[in-house]
Amino acid sequence: MVNSGSSANLLIIDSLIRSSIAQSSLQAGDEIIVPGLSWPTTAWPIAQLGLVPVFVDVDPATLAIDLNSAKSVLGPKTRGLFLIHALGRAADVSSYLEFCARNGLEFIEDCCESLGAYSSASHVGTESRAASFSFYFSHHISTIEGGMVVTSDARLADEFRGLRAHGWIRDRSDRDEWIDRNPTLDSRFLFASVGYNVRPTEIQGAIGNVQLQRLDQMLFARDSLARAVNGWLETNAPWLELIGRETLAAAAPSDRSGRTNSWMTLPLRLRSDAPVSRDDVARHFERCRVETRPIIAGNLSRHPAVQLIDHRVAGSMTTCDSLLSDTFMIGCHPILSTGSLTTLEAAITSLSEF
């Protein structure tokens, strides 16, 4: 566990650049493919650590990296792909694994928005070199601020334990070997890697343990809300579609590994036959006291911060570019009062008046 999902991403990239025990797989100047629909701190650690993010377009159905777009940016310096499972939707991990294997790329996953989602019966984040999770309070479980790095590589796990706490050896499983190799140094203060301090507190850990016990229940509630909203939309405003609605049929809330979407929010897209604009619909929701937000930040590569870093962008970013004009999202809270549900239902049923 670490103090945020952003820190988890930072440790993942760092661990692959400056390994204390194994051959490093990444070095300065290497390019990592990231989706244009990206949370900033998925892309920033890549740039902060001297690598180059290459922004590619996303698939309109899954909102995850479009592999044709990823293919179009492959070059001699491409070394990795950082997949984001967006807004709870598990992307098809096998196709990314295959793409990375074929092109000699590190495959890493940002699952900060998708705790509880499964791809082909494997929990997201379990098939790659390493993956991140966030427990920030709007996510599936909350430790107020908090995050997690997972890997099935024991050496990488030791790297994370060191990087999390100043580079200290004391949480590492190979601690005794470091002590034996450095007999002149005080074993209590022995540093093996160039670390950070991104530790969570015991209080965050305690909150997380309790939250974990409620995860299934909260995922079930999110799924039920998504089903209700989808039904209201289909009846009253078929021109406004819940992105990912096709996963509702497949989701089997009683069977964890059947859950392909853990619905972090409810992303909505206006069809081309919509009678009104995206902004009109968003204003309607706001007037009905239902908050709306853009889908993450639209196309991150268009944000001013990106001009400050070395980066590349795929030639076509059609889907990412359309996000701010065609889509928006509303919340998907697992605990809604009857009053909130009525407010939401009224906002959606009254769309039929457009």
Closest CA to 69 of 307, 246, 301: 301
Residues 123-152 that bind ligand PLP (CB under 6 A): 134, 136, 147
**Sheet with strand 78-84: strands edge to edge:** 147-150, 130-134, 106-110, 78-84, 31-35, 52-56, 312-313
- Residue whose CB is less far from ligand PLP, 306 or 351: 306
Question: Using alpha carbons only, what angle is made at residue 100 by residues 95 and 101, rounded to the nearest 5 degrees?
Answer: 100
Q: Which of 15, 41, 119, 261 binds ligand PLP (CB under 6 A)?
A: 41
How many chain residues bind ligand PLP (CB under 6 A)?
Answer: 14
Residues 21-40 that bind ligand PLP (CB under 6 A): 39
Question: Using alpha carbons only, what angle is made at residue 278 by residues 276 and 279, rounded to the nearest 5 degrees?
Answer: 100
- Residue whose CB is less far from ligand PLP, 80 or 233: 80
| 240, burial (CB in 10 Å: exposed 0-12, middle 13-18, buried 19+) | buried
- Residue whose CB is less far from ligand PLP, 5 or 162: 5
- Residue whose CB is less far from ligand PLP, 110 or 241: 110
Taking CB under 6 A as the binding criterion, the range among 59-67, 105-113, 252-260, 273-281 that sits at the site for ligand PLP is 105-113
Taking CB under 6 A as the binding criterion, the range among 4-12, 93-101, 236-244, 252-260 that sits at the site for ligand PLP is 4-12
Taking CB under 6 A as the binding criterion, the range among 21-29, 96-104, 108-116, 201-209 that sits at the site for ligand PLP is 108-116
Q: How far is residue 319's CA from residue 41's CA, in Å, rounded to a whole number?
A: 21
Under rule CB under 6 A, residue 110 binds ligand PLP = yes
Under rule CB under 6 A, residue 55 binds ligand PLP = no
- Nearest-approach distance from CB 57 to ligand PLP, in angstroms: 17
Taking CB under 6 A as the binding criterion, the range among 107-115, 160-168, 171-179, 281-289 that sits at the site for ligand PLP is 107-115
Who contacts 338 (Cβ-Cβ below 8 Å, separation ≥6)? none
Under rule CB under 6 A, residue 6 binds ligand PLP = yes
Under rule CB under 6 A, residue 266 binds ligand PLP = no
Taking CB under 6 A as the binding criterion, the range among 1-9, 59-67, 71-79, 174-182 that sits at the site for ligand PLP is 1-9
- Residue whose CB is less far from ligand PLP, 112 or 229: 112
Q: Which of 10, 16, 47, 84 binds ligand PLP (CB under 6 A)?
A: 84
Q: Which of 1, 4, 243, 282 binds ligand PLP (CB under 6 A)?
A: 4
- Nearest-approach distance from CB 8 to ligand PLP, in angstroms: 8
Chain residues binding ligand PLP by CB under 6 A are: 4-6, 9, 39, 41-42, 84, 110, 112-113, 134, 136, 147
